[in-house]
Amino acid sequence: MKPFTAFAAVCSFFLSTSTVVCAESSFKPPQTFKNANLVRNTNLEKGYVRETVNIVVENVDKEPQSTYYLSFPSDVFDKVGGLEVRDRKAPENGPFAVDVVSAESTSDVHYVAVDLPQPLAPKSQITLGISYYLLNSLTPRPAAINQADKQYLAYSFSAYLHSAYPTVTQKTRLKLPSTNVPDYTTTNGLKSGADPERQGTTYTYGPYDTAEVAPGTTYPITLRYEFTKPVITASLLERDLEVSHWGGNLATEERYWLRNNGSNLVNQFSRVEWTLTNFQQLPSSAIRELKYPLKPGAVDPYFIDDIGNVSTSRYRPGRSPKREGSLELKPRFPVFGGWNYSFRIGWNDNLSNFLRRVAGADTYVLKVPFLEGPKVPEGVQYEKVVVRVVLPEGARNVRYETIHGASNNGLPPVDQIQSHVSPHKTFMDTLGRTALTLTAENLSDEARDAQLVITYEYSFWDGMRKPITITAGLLTVFAAAWAIGNIDVSIKKR
């Protein structure tokens, strides 16, 4: 999550539709709340960090309060994605509105304002469920390994969660992918008994009595654990969806720029050793294959990289109309730590499965996944995603929204997604098709469950523009050819 910048001259001017709270870098939230209890759950089973923080918040002011502030250190703030806040006791009511507090890039702390749906009365409490994930927060240790060695990742955090308010008690529970944890920090004097407490793949730090600990105090903790899977990162994903009313088709193409953020190789790659590893079915930190679940009815899949068509792919369509298909891809070479691989895939779908027409109007509603992509156990993190939906020529009054489920799907609010509508000219177009382009940063594969709903107007005459134009053009060519053919250019005697 990157901070929004604002000029000091306009910090006192608020737009009703703005989600940015203008403030100076020295902004400090008013101490109107306290955290009666805080439980942080950190999941390290994937190649990125997923955190869920449950906080019992109490209003300690004499007046009702409706704005709660989250605080993030500057080195963490830029890695935050998919931030979502809900009422822990009523998650079905949907996420709360969150506003990023503008601050200078030199600020050590960044704040996010959470708008409570109802002002919290004095001495009343509400349980907030805060969920987000941290991209590029895991470090391979050692940084370089042999081809057949096990890979270990390190994660560093603070035993005290950074908060804008005093916290009475708190603890952190970490879920690891394996029991092989050779190194971890043990605390001294923070609590009685062993700290952390270990139970299988779960490590628990705390609970701590932090009523007298000043907000913002840190206590560094580091764990190093085995992670024999690739750390897949897409530096860029360009996703195009092209709508054709005439063909009744939805064409999808995705272009990936992938890299593996795992440990690098000490020596050169050995094909013999790699073949032996595959034969013995040993775990590896390299990307061997990617599996894409496709919607029922998907046809004509293709897989192309920088060299050309890749034949090491297999598509298995769903056996029933309601069962997803599976597209399995194998890159030309295993992608080890520090290696990159760029490619594109595409397929076609029946448009009737995604498009509906509003009865009695020239309005259409298109509902498509915001993100699809591979579905792998180690997960995928996306630094930047560009989604472009190409609508038919003549489509106008384009509007869009995103649909959130009952749990966090990793998609930022609509106001944090950059969007613009522009013409897109292709073969035999006149004015050009209408293209809606959306850009989002810091996403994860959890956004695969998010839906993008686009509404646009498209009349019968808009659909007839192209055939009429083509017919008129052909008639003009024939008429011109006939006229030119009837011109007498022969040489005659006078």
| Residue 302: CATH number of its domain | 2.60.40.1730
Q: Order the strands of the 325-329 sheet from edge to edge.
A: 290-294, 325-329, 313-316
Q: Which of 183, 201, 226 is the last residue of a domain?
A: 226
Q: How many domains does the chain have?
A: 2
- Check residue 15 and give its pLDDT: 33
Q: Is residue 406 part of a domain?
A: yes
Residue 37 inside a domain? The answer is: yes
For residue 47, report the phi and psi dihedrals to the nearest 5 degrees.
-80, 5
Give the Cα separation of 100 and 102 in Å (integer). 6
Same domain, 80 and 219: yes
Amino acid at 404: H
In the block, which residue shows the tokens 């192209």? 466
Per-residue pLDDT of the chain (494 residues; tens, 9 = 90+): 544 433 333 333 333 333 333 334 467 899 999 999 999 999 999 999 999 999 999 999 999 999 999 999 988 998 998 899 999 888 877 788 888 886 555 678 899 999 999 999 999 999 999 999 999 999 999 999 999 899 999 999 999 999 999 999 999 999 999 999 999 999 988 888 889 999 999 999 989 999 999 998 999 999 999 999 999 999 999 999 999 998 899 999 999 999 999 999 998 899 898 888 888 888 889 999 999 999 888 999 999 998 888 888 888 887 777 788 899 999 999 999 999 999 999 999 999 999 999 887 889 999 999 999 899 999 999 999 999 999 998 888 999 998 876 666 778 877 788 999 998 877 766 778 899 999 999 999 888 888 899 999 987 766 667 777 778 888 988 999 998 888 877 777 66
d(CA 50, CA 130): 11
pLDDT attached to residue 354: 94
Residues 319 and 336 in one domain: yes
* Of the residues 226, 247, 271, the one at which a domain ends: 226
CB atoms within 10 A of CB 44: 22
Is 17 found in the same domain as 161?
Answer: yes
Q: What is the pLDDT of residue 277?
A: 84
**Same-domain check for residues 409 and 303:** yes
Distance of CA 278 to the CA centre of its chain: 32
How many other β-carbons are positioned within 10 Å of the β-carbon of residue 32? 19
Residue found by looking up tokens 């996010």 in the block: 112
Domain boundaries, position 355 = 232-468
Q: Are residues 217 and 252 in the same domain?
A: no
pLDDT computed for residue 20 by the predictor: 36
> Same domain for 269 and 369?
yes
Residue 452 lies in a domain: yes
Residue 476 resides in a domain: no
Stretch (H or E) spanning 478: helix 460-485
Distance of alpha carbon 135 from alpha carbon 48, whole angstroms:
6
- Asked which of 160, 195, 226 is the last residue of a domain, the reply is 226
Tokens, residue 260 = 């593996």
Angle at CA 349, nearest 5°, toward 346 and 354? Answer: 125
393 shares a domain with 258: yes
Write the CB contacts of 140 (distance below 8 Å, at least 6 apart in sequence).
Answer: 151, 152, 153, 154, 231, 261, 262, 263, 264, 337
Residue 52, pLDDT score:
94
Helix (H) or strand (E) holding 181: none
- Check: CB of residue 310 under 8 Å from CB of residue 303: yes
CA distance 144 to 463: 58
